[in-house]
Amino acid sequence: MSSPVTIYTDGACRGNPGPGGWGVLIIENNNEITLFGGEKNTTNNQMEMTAAIEGLSYFEERTHIEIFTDSNYLKDGIESWIHSWKKNGWKTASKKPVKNQELWMKVDELNQFHNVSWSWVKGHSGNRENDIADMLANKGIDEI
């Protein structure tokens, strides 16, 4: 089996909500591919999720992917919280609607399609690849 593709994702927001951006660094066979974009009015969590969606959507065929995020919200959500949300009809433990449900559904769909392992990386800590994803997310805001 080929080695997994590595993806670093990040979201950024200036104001929360406010203008936001997402950035993705894909490392495949020693090649680096960058993706980024932005939205005029969004939240940091929405941009973190959008980055993951864009990175995972880049691959049309089922792929073994190792994804790195500095968002505990994204990592914890897709690895543990989502199971209860789906079982409870997209309601939280306190019976409130899950925030960002449409984005969660898309992340879940892609997570099930690909063979994905999720890892957390400390943001703004000198990790080269995470710093690139952060720079791309900020470029996404700058280019709105």
Beta-bridge mates of residue 64 = 115
| Angstrom distance (rounded) from CA 72 to CA 29 | 28
| Angstrom distance (rounded) from CA 20 to CA 37 | 9
* Amino acid, single-letter form, for residue 31: N
| Angstrom distance (rounded) from CA 36 to CA 15 | 19
Residue 127 is classified by DSSP as: -
Q: What amino acid positions are annotated as catalytic residues?
A: 10-11, 48, 70, 124, 134
Q: How many CB atoms lie within 10 A of CB 114?
A: 19
